[in-house]
Amino acid sequence: MSKRLSRRTLLRGAGVTLALPFLDAMTPAFASAQSQPPCRLLVNYVPNGIVMRDWLPTSPGTDFVLPRILKPIEPYRHQILVIEGLAQHFGWPNGDGTGDHARAASTYLTGVHIRKTGGSDIEAGVSMDQIAARQLGSRTRIPSLELTCEDGRMVGTCDTGYSCVYSNNLSWRSASTPGSPEVDPRAVFETLFGSEDPDPAERAATRRRDASILDWVLGETHSLETSLGPADRSKLDEYLTSVREIEMRIQNASQSPNPARPPIDKPEAIPAELAGHLRLMYDLLRVAFQTDSTRIATLMVGREGSLRSYDEIGVPESHHPITHHQGRPNLIEKVTLINCHHVRLFAEFVASLAKTPDGDGSLLDHSMILYGSGLADGNSHQHDHLPTMLVGGGCGTLRPGRFLQVAAQTPITNLYVSMLTRMGVAVERIGDSSGQVSDLGDLA
């Protein structure tokens, strides 16, 4: 007979901890605490807008055709809800002049007008992910994760009088405290699996030895395996293999040459191309959700106003300048290629969630993932009719597989209130919200 385990069981050894995925042996202990697996929230932000003619599906409802940009996620169309008509009103100037990229990022999750300043007197609002973290964060080891795939300055101005902090942050813990997302996959790995009381010198020595975290917990792993049934031993083996593969990819990235590509300064252990970097971040997010290390995360694929080039897909030009295409077909095509590339990588992540068991379903069934941008058309800096897609079942509270049109100029913060309500977060208003988005699905 297998041993009954707590959902919070950790493997420990030599100052490291390794959380476990949900196992059948946890069901009796877990079922008394709650009847179903928890719902996870991820905001996946892409910068500089999207070519909307190749984003929006055809007719509303379930009988829609996915356009070119969304085509990579076709195998999971039954798990997506594309929403059209949402707006971020404080992305517009509102008397502050230019600086749409700074406003696009910093108001996206807050719905609050930001102070135009290049100094330290920044002022935004509390973002929806941090509203959730305040109420749910105590239930997990890590209240929330803030990640990015593009390092950015946090001092000086980056967008016509706006502090760089605004362009580089989605998550805001308070009006003056940004989340400061982590760009280095190795640091994220250590947050999830590293020392509970890390010593920098000891951590550096461990890196030099290239020792696997699995080696440190080998004894406890063997002890646990002897108490598990065959199905749980198989799940544990798959999970540990996944952790080791992520670890090896991080080690390989740190040992590989990383050619300089101005204007992006990539620190050690970050793959030179976005695809490798983003895949690592997605895998780390999957493991974080699988082990219930956190239930709330944000990921900026790139900073707003990103100048990243995409040589790997035949776009050597910087991203932001070509979004100001002024209708030139060759530049529109290059922006579209970038948009397709982002969705293609995201679709791989969605597939991995769908294949990861979680209670009576999958991680995808028990997640709400918002994929979107604070700009629609990057050429005109459009902040309404925003590209917005919800992915996942939301623990049964969403009715995906549809293209949903809402009233034009509906605050996107209305969607956030609806999402957090479905996570069990008590919230009446977020920023400029005026209610909720109806027809998302029935609350559980």
User: Rounded mean pLDDT of the chain?
Assistant: 87
Rounded-to-integer distance, Cα 101 and Cα 144, Å:
25
Environment class of 123 (CB within 10 Å of its CB; exposed 0-12, middle 13-18, buried 19+): middle
From 387, 385, 397, 386, select the one nearest 421 (Cα to Cα): 397
Is residue 416 pLDDT above 80, yes or no? yes
Average of per-residue pLDDT across 414-419:
98
Q: From the CB of residue 66, how many other CB atoms can be counted at a distance below 10 Å? A: 19
Environment class of 268 (CB within 10 Å of its CB; exposed 0-12, middle 13-18, buried 19+): exposed
Average of per-residue pLDDT across 235-241:
76
Q: How confident is the model at residue 195 (pLDDT cuts 50, 70, 90)?
A: low
From 208, 220, 212, 180, select the one nearest 193 (Cα to Cα): 212
From 337, 406, 276, 367, select the one nearest 71 (Cα to Cα): 337
Residue ranges per structural domain of the chain? 1-35+186-269, 41-183+299-444
Residue 182 gets which letter from DSSP? B
Using an 8 Å Cβ cutoff, are 171 and 146 in contact? yes
Average of per-residue pLDDT across 84-97:
97
Rounded-to-integer distance, Cα 272 and Cα 260, Å:
9
Q: Name the amino acid, one letter, at 401.
A: G
Using an 8 Å Cβ cutoff, are 306 and 47 in contact? yes
Listed range (71-80, 99-108, 204-213, 227-236) with the worst mean pLDDT: 204-213
From 241, 240, 243, 212, select the one nearest 224 (Cα to Cα): 240
Average of per-residue pLDDT across 237-249:
77
Joined tokens for residue 368 = 């709400």
Joined tokens for residue 76 = 């999971």
Is the model more confident about 30 or about 226? 226
From 265, 269, 271, select the one nearest 308 (Cα to Cα): 265
Q: 60 preceded by cis ω (within 30°)?
A: no
Residue ranges of E strands in 62-221? 80-87, 145-148, 157-159, 162-163, 172-174, 177-178
Is residue 274 pLDDT above 70, yes or no? yes
Q: How confident is the model at residue 265 (pLDDT cuts 50, 70, 90)?
A: very low
| Residues in contact with 130: Cβ distance below 8 Å, sequence separation at least 6, in sequence order | 144, 171, 172, 173, 179
Average of per-residue pLDDT across 274-279:
96
CATH 3.40.720 fits 41-183+299-444, yes or no: yes
Rounded to the nearest 10 degrees, the angle between the axes of helix 185-193 and helix 230-255 is 150
Is residue 204 pLDDT above 60, yes or no? no
The per-residue b/e assignment along 408-418, b for 16 or more CB within 10 angstroms, e otherwise, is eebbbbbbbbb
| Residues in contact with 35: Cβ distance below 8 Å, sequence separation at least 6, in sequence order | none
Residues linked to residue 12 through DSSP beta bridges, in sequence order:
17
pTM of the predicted structure, to 2 decimals: 0.88
**Tens of pLDDT, residues 337-378:** 999 999 999 999 999 999 999 989 999 999 999 999 999 999
